[in-house]
Structure 1
Amino acid sequence: MNTIYPLAVPKGRRLCCEVCEAPAELVCKACMVTYYCGPVHQQADWNSIHEKICQLLIPLRTSMPFYNSEEERQHGLQQQRQRQMHLIEFCYTIAQKYIFEGKYANAVPAALHSLRFRRNLYGLSSVELVPAYLLLSEASLGMGHTVQAEEYLSQAQWTVLKSTDCSCATHSLLHRNLGLLYIAKENYDEARYHLANDIYYASCAFGTEDIRTSGGYFHLARIFYFLEKWKLADTLYTKVTEIWNKYLYDHYQVLAQARNQQIDLLGKLLETDTGLDEAQEAEAVRILTTILGIRELETDREPKKTVFVLKTLIMLFFLMNSSNARDYANRALFIAKERNFNVQEQRDLQDLLDLVSME
């Protein structure tokens, strides 16, 4: 990290901190195009996202070269646009992943990057800014900064109200974040209203049984759980698990069949991913482990529901190539034996354990 020398800055140009937009005093020595107010924000940005995109920022933040023709200029502009779009999605996904992992402070710089690139590409009032505002709101909520979260949500709402072409997916995200805000405020009536709207819009965009809709069911179940409405919470938690189980089973079957057929490429196939991006994987882990924690409290009464969540987590971690799959398989088989599941159910779990234990 290098100190900025004021005399080296062109007259009239104001250098701002990447994180807080205060006057900058330091510049990243690796890219020389990113500025900070001090070492604290530099380190925060580096830990969050800058290390991953440092060199990618150079062509975006330096003057475009001289082009010999209009065709070359248009090609250069198109490349710039593609770079910006890539960084918008990359920073957004990383910020989402941090949020699902509970690393809210780390999510903020990444979400801010996504927001700035969106502003540069789409303008200050575009509905494309809404997802970034919502990420910043959720990160703020996670850190307990309710007022800041409300400010970001207000910006998102105002942008949606001004838009004539806002998608159902964006409406879903907005209502989900409003639901989370009211959960944090313990205003469960308002939270239920917004989460019901979240489910409606997500269903319109993706379908009622899609993993992208499952988040609305999950948060609605949390409300009923808080209110001690066990049957409603149980129904929704079961639905969420079923949605993820069906999605993961389709991917898992490919690997299971490969093993059974003893395909020579099995070692390569075992590295097949989940079909999810990093943020979606983190969301699946968070949702399913939360449900598992609740189910384990009721294992004595309903062990099969606990095992069903465990089997879903086994498939998830197996597809993620994580050793956690084996641990969950052992737990599921132990419950099945302890609770005297029938022979076929125990055999199926043993087969599952054998598969995920293969190196």
Structure 2
Amino acid sequence: METRHLPIASRIIPLALPKGTEKLCELCQNRAYLQCAQCRVTFYCDATHQFADWVGIHEKICPLLVPIRTETLESFSKEGRIEKDIKKRELIAIARSIAEGKLTEGKHEEALPAGQTCLHFCMDVFGPCSIQLVPAYLLLAEGYMGLGNISSAAELLSQAELSVSKNPDCGHDLHHRLHRSLGRLQSIMGDLEGALFNYANDIYHAAEVYGLDSTVCSNGYFLLANIFAKQGKTQIVRSMYNEVAQTWNSHLTKLIEPFLENPTASLEPTFDKAKQVEVDKILHTILDFERHQSRKEHALMALASLCLSMLWFMGGDRVKARDFGRSALQSSQMSPNQELSTAVQKLLDLVETRPQTSEAKRSK
């Protein structure tokens, strides 16, 4: 189990502050009464907000804030301002990465402090009306949607949509992410036609950046299929889920091929934890959908199970890789696609030659 160090706080002494100075809470911008005892440059209204920020991001960036928020004679020079600007941009990238990881893992509440940090420094570096703020708006909107706070999510997405509309040349990648978030919002609100429209636009823009056969587009197809599932359009859902599974099969097979040629090759981490969780969820959704159908597509079940087996093989979990591989073999034997059975058997043979990694054992 991961050991987490608890934050240490100290009370702000008003007399120690310059006259007319008032410190504000990092999370809610209300008057602060506590400060982080480690960096001493971050302030909170109460212990609850300090703990939330610590868990969300502050534990990872505490020492990085000191040179950014500490004013010295050097910091007012041209070189000092440039150096501080570089540090702020680095912090934006760190905060964005942390927020994205927590959202993928379903830790929506923990993602909010990282998203707010990202937005705060984006405003500081780029200005309050910059298109550079849109990624932070989207991260925060995703967090609020996960918590069921639809009004806050809708407000943030409106700000993002307005910024993008004022900058039509902002690029396909930003359009793709905006449409994906709008699609999620409309799906939650029950506007299925609006969700279909935005997911279709999401796929179009993603294809322009990453290619139609990319896993990014594949995930767009997955979200689109989920809307058709709500509409009861089973054949369309199956077609799209099959496209998703084929894309991940192609991607994972390329990662597995070196081990088929050399079974003793060193296994290096390919997916971070957040990405592995995301892919696992997608493939399990496809399997669960098919298992609940009266007439099952065994080829699709075999393909999804094969992908899960490869995913966990790359994650170093031989037990899960073997179990999903056996499920894939069972389903493939009920399918006319014999090439699939051959691919599954090769993977199972490979799995049996590999030891369980220590990291996979600890995760159980």
Q: TM-score, normalised by structure 1?
A: 0.88
1:311 and 2:306 matched: yes
Of residues 247, 251, 269, the one that matches 1:273 is 269
Q: Secondary structure at the match of 1:17?
A: coil
Aligned to 2:61: 53
2: CA distance between counterparts of 1:154 and 1:108? 18
Matched residues in 2 for 1:119 and 1:67: separation? 19
Alignment CA distance shift 1:309-1:144 (3 Å): same
Alpha-carbon shift at residue 294 of structure 1 (Å) = 2.1
Counterparts in 2 of 1:351 and 1:132: CA distance versus 1, 3 Å: same
Structure 2 regions of 5+ residues with no counterpart? Answer: 1-8, 358-364
Paired residue secondary structure (2:71): coil
CA contact (8 A) 1:93 1:277 kept: no
1:326 corresponds to: 319
Give the match for residue 345 of structure 2: 347
Q: Does 1:115 align with 2:119?
A: yes
Distance change (3 Å), C-alpha of 1:135 and 1:202:
same
Residue of structure 1 in register with 2:71 after alignment: 63
**Corresponding residue of 1:171:** 175
Judged with a 3 Å threshold, the aligned counterparts in structure 2 of structure 1 residues 277 and 121 are, in CA distance, closer, same or farther, namely farther
Please tell me whether residue 143 in structure 1 is matched to residue 147 in structure 2: yes
CA distance in 2, matches of 1:82, 1:299: 58
- What residue identity is the alignment partner of 1:83? K
Give the C-alpha shift of residue 355 in structure 1.
4.4
Superposed counterparts of 1:139-218, under 5 Å: 139-218=143-222
Three-state SS of the structure 1 residue aligned to 2:181 is helix
Distance in 1, Cα, partners of 2:244 & 2:73 = 52
Per-residue deviation, 1:129: 0.7
Any stretches of 5+ residues in structure 1 without a counterpart?
A: none
Match of 1:240 among 241, 244, 268: 244
Tell me the equivalent position of 1:8. Answer: 16
Q: CA deviation at 1:183?
A: 0.3
Conservation of the 8 A alpha-carbon contact between 1:93 and 1:279? no
Q: Shift of the alpha carbon at 1:2?
A: 0.6
Q: Secondary structure at 1:20's aligned position in 2?
A: coil
Cα distance 1:311–1:226, how it changes in 2: closer, same or farther (>3 A)?
same
1:350 and 1:277 map into 2 onto residues whose CA distance is 23
Q: Secondary structure at the match of 2:257?
A: helix
Identity %: 34
**Kindly tell me: are residues 334 and 166 of structure 1, through their superposed partners in 2, closer, same or farther at Cα, counting changes over 3 Å?**
closer
| Structure 2 counterpart of 1:82 | 86
Matches within 5 A, 1:287-306: 287-298=282-293, 301-306=296-301
Residues 313, 351 of structure 2: 8 Å contact kept: no
CA distance in structure 1 between the partners assigned to 2:150 and 2:254 by the alignment: 40
CA offsets 1:81-105 (integer angstroms, 9 cap, x no match): 3322222122112211221222111
* Matched positions, count: 344
TM-score of the two chains, using structure 2 as the length reference: 0.86
Q: 2 CA distance for matches of 1:299 and 1:79?
A: 63
User: Does the 8 A contact of 2:309 with 2:325 survive in 1?
Assistant: no
Q: Cα distance, 1:24 vs. partner?
A: 0.9
Residues 233 and 53 (structure 1), Cα distance of their counterparts in 2 relative to 1, 3 Å cut: same
AA in 1 matched with 2:322: A
Residue identity in the other structure for 1:351 = D
Q: Deviations over 1:143-201 (max 9, x none)?
A: 11111111111111111122253111001111111111110011101111111111111
Q: What's the CA shift string for 1:236-266, capped at 9, x where partnerless?
A: 111122222222222222333332xx4xxx3
SS at match of 1:59: helix
